[in-house]
Amino acid sequence: MTNKSKIVIVGAGFFGTALANSLSLNADNEVVILSISESQVDEINNDKTNHAFFPNRKLNNFRASLNFNEIKGAKAIFLAIPSTHFLNVSPAISRYLSPGLLIVNLSKGFGSKGEILVDLLKDELNHENVVSLKGPTFASELLAGQPSMFTLGFNNKWESLLIKDIFLNTNIFLDYTTDVVGVEVVSAIKNIYAIMIGYVDAKYNSANTRFMVLTKAVNEIKLILPELNGHLDTLFLSCGIGDLSLSALNDLSRNRTLGLLIGKGFYNENLIEGNSVVVEGANALRVIKDSLTKLTLTRLPLFNEVDQILNNPEYKFNIQFDKLIDQNSDTVLTYGTFDLLHYGHLEILKKAKSFGTKLIVGLSSDSFNKLKGKKSIHSYKKRKEFLESLEYVDLVIPEDNWEQKETDVQKYDVDIFIMGDDWKGKFDFLDKFCRVEYLPRTEGISTTKLKSIL
């Protein structure tokens, strides 16, 4: 009888083999890797090699199998297969699932309907215990024993504790977040910008230009991530900045290599046809593009350039550096009562601040609320204190009447006036002084609703 934890890895390719090799360093793990090739299974079990992917490299002590019934009794299974193969293997996996089994998604991208892969797996397998594991790791270095890092996106504490135990005494280290959506999304976004950085390096061969564009790439991801319901902090984990840097700056990266080929003028229909990087990148672009507002898309020049090249083979990259770096030194102004400060308020303030460097909030005074027939739970003084404590807000001014907006726009040299889309069209008269935008409200929450509940 063994006390070891059984760990099953689905997929005996580059990454599955490297991960199995690392996890077998933990003496408390019993690692089994599933393959569809009988000769590969025999080679791993008898010779401790996998020459198809790692020539002349000896593997650690784990075993391979053809049988999905190995999943029975496992603590966790790691899916190290392309997302396009999920639907092929899900019937074989689902019949052996137990309620306490943890499924770990290592693949990157989106489902055919635009869903994140964790949600796709939950639906296909009818299983709730699915987590995401992403990070800046090349399989060859993982196999060589180099210290490497992943981000675990999890839902429940037991999931993080189990993964922590599985990775003990290996060459893999972890950081953690409950933002599963953000981990899934940022790992797909970074490939788009890796293509761009590869192109820039081929075209300009300049460290100055490379890091100028890399800085802009990070800024664009900051705009995209919240709109796709990810947390901004996730960008600064290993699945974010780490994976972006690995994919964008290292020649082992397939996406960077594609960018290099484009920059050197080798990008043509033959390269496009059947190229998995192009297919994956185009799918990620489509999903992300469809999820973003038109206003946000106007602020993503790098994203739009890659979109053009992947979807239009005749298109020639044309980075206009003046527009690329013409960044938000703008002053933004918005108004509201902001009583019972809630998530919806935070979202619209955060989005408003992303349009410039200074956000001014016109806060309805107590006397103005009385004039409007409104009664706030908190006084103007207290509401002002709440707003000033937020990192997004730079200045709070009193709103005493309906007519002052035109004066405030001119007094504070406002560039962009922003309100929720429930006010759409009501403030268009200000467009002779500044840009006017209406942002979507956060669904499912409002101050009125909170007050009715209270």
Predicted local confidence at residue 453, as pLDDT: 40
Q: Listing from the earlier edge strand, what are the strands of the sheet with 102-105?
A: 63-65, 29-34, 5-10, 76-79, 102-105, 130-134, 148-153, 172-177
With both helix axes pointing from N to C terminus, report the angle between 301-311 and 276-291 in degrees, rounded to the nearest 10. Answer: 130
Q: What is the mean pLDDT of each run of 10 residues along the chain (454 residues)?
A: 85 96 97 96 96 94 95 96 84 91 94 89 94 96 96 97 97 97 94 92 94 93 89 94 95 89 74 62 84 86 88 74 71 92 84 88 94 88 94 94 95 94 92 91 53 43
Q: Are 5 and 28 in contact (CB under 8 A)?
A: yes
Residue 35 and residue 169 in one domain: yes
Residue 167 and residue 299 in one domain: no
Residue 299 and residue 363 in one domain: no
Residue 340 and residue 372 in one domain: yes
Which is nearest to 133 in space by CA: 5, 306, 16?
Answer: 16
Residue 294 and residue 353 in one domain: no
E strand or H helix that includes residue 32 = strand 29-34
Give residue-wise pLDDT tens across range 235-275: 999 999 999 999 999 998 988 988 898 888 876 656 555 56
Whole-angstrom distance, CA of residue 21 vs CA of residue 420:
52
CB atoms within 10 A of CB 429: 11
* Count of structural domains within the chain: 3
Give residue-wise pLDDT tens across range 147-184: 999 999 999 999 999 999 999 999 999 999 999 999 99
Which residues are tagged catalytic? 372, 374
Q: State which residues form the domain around 443.
A: 331-453
Residue 173 and residue 203 in one domain: no
- Looking at 156, 178, 200, which one is the last position of a domain? 178
Task: Read off the CATH number of the domain in which 284 is found.
Answer: 1.10.1040.10
Predicted local confidence at residue 454, as pLDDT: 41
Predicted local confidence at residue 1, as pLDDT: 42
Residue 399 and residue 354 in one domain: yes
Predicted local confidence at residue 276, as pLDDT: 66
pTM, 2 dp:
0.82
Tell me the CB-side half-sphere exposure of residue 214, using CA atoms within 13 A.
Answer: 21
Task: Read off the CATH number of the domain in which 405 is found.
Answer: 3.40.50.620
Which is nearest to 248 in space by CA: 291, 214, 205, 206?
Answer: 214
Coil, strand, or helix at residue 361?
strand
Residue 320 and residue 201 in one domain: yes
Residue 375 and residue 394 in one domain: yes
Residue 10 and residue 157 in one domain: yes
Predicted local confidence at residue 270, as pLDDT: 60
Residue 48 and residue 28 in one domain: yes
Residue 317 and residue 292 in one domain: yes
Q: Which amino acid is at 115?
A: E
CB atoms within 10 A of CB 111: 20
